[in-house]
Chain A
Amino acid sequence: AQSVTQPDIHITVSEGASLELRCNYSYGATPYLFWYVQSPGQGLQLLLKYFSGDTLVQGIKGFEAEFKRSQSSFNLRKPSVHWSDAAEYFCAVGARTGGGADGLTFGKGTHLIIQP
């Protein structure tokens, strides 16, 4: 069965500084990878996704992510964060889950705090 690990529960970054959120996955085949963002009290919104092709993918709000097959990683980056980026970030792999169900398997999330 597939799994997703986000090793950082909380990350604090100063406004204007660069950001990297880590994500490692475990999946036997070519993964479909996603990053979602959840603002307080809101549902999840897709930032970007990777299926195949160029391993550096661009997303909304100035985010990008790089797929590294050799490291089973899909880290999210942003060169300069804004206070509005404070949120919960989830990495997910799309696959048939255990028992044949279709859906996303999520990591536990990384809570991003922006310092002024």
Chain B
Amino acid sequence: NAGVTQTPKFRILKIGQSMTLQCTQDMNHNYMYWYRQDPGMGLKLIYYSVGAGITDKGEVPNGYNVSRSTTEDFPLRLELAAPSQTSVYFCASSERDYTYEQYFGPGTRLTVT
């Protein structure tokens, strides 16, 4: 059972470039989340989704976009990369809302220079 998978593991972007971080889960979870983790700052919620076709903003959504066309996939899009988006990005999923355990992927380390 793969759980939550993320690709790529590492990426270096130049300022202004765009990219998509991929996230897939095989647990048939309705809820999916994107967090960013900055050094010494814990994790911040970027976007979340409660099911296919439904997404909503979290605490720090600016500069990002998401889509949820299937239950399994929840990609995160960076349109115009900025140095402030240098971070480690984690995707997570849960069976239901925040009262349920979230399962995390291994993360994507992104550097924008």
Q: Which residues of A contact B (CB under 8 A)?
A: 4, 9, 32, 34, 36, 41-46, 49, 51, 90, 94-109
CB–CB B104/A43 < 8 A? yes
CB<8 Å pairs between A and B, sample of 8:
A43-B92, A45-B104, A46-B101, A101-B59, A102-B56, A105-B45, A107-B42, A108-B40
> Given A51-B99, A99-B57 in contact, is the A104-B45 Cβ separation under 8 Å?
yes
CB–CB A102/B106 < 8 A? no
Question: Please, how many residues of chain B have a CB less than 8 angstroms from a CB on the other chain?
Answer: 26
CB–CB A9/B40 < 8 A? yes
Q: Which residues of B contact A (CB under 8 A)?
A: 4, 31, 33, 40-45, 48, 50, 56-59, 90, 92, 97-99, 101-102, 104-107
CB–CB B42/A44 < 8 A? no
Secondary structure of the A contact surface, majority rule: strand
CB–CB B107/A43 < 8 A? yes
Min CB distance B74 to A, Å, is 13
| B98 CB contact (under 8 Å) in A42, A45, A90, A103 | A103
CB–CB B56/A101 < 8 A? yes
Across-interface contacts of B59 in A (CB, < 8 A): 97-99, 101, 103
Min CB distance B48 to A, Å, is 6
Across-interface contacts of A41 in B (CB, < 8 A): 106-107
A83–B34 CA distance with the chains assembled, in angstroms: 31
A46–B100 CA distance with the chains assembled, in angstroms: 11
Given contacts A101-B45, A101-B58, 16 further A-B contacts (CB under 8 A): A41-B107, A43-B105, A43-B107, A44-B102, A45-B104, A99-B59, A101-B56, A102-B31, A102-B98, A103-B58, A103-B98, A104-B98, A106-B43, A106-B44, A108-B40, A108-B41
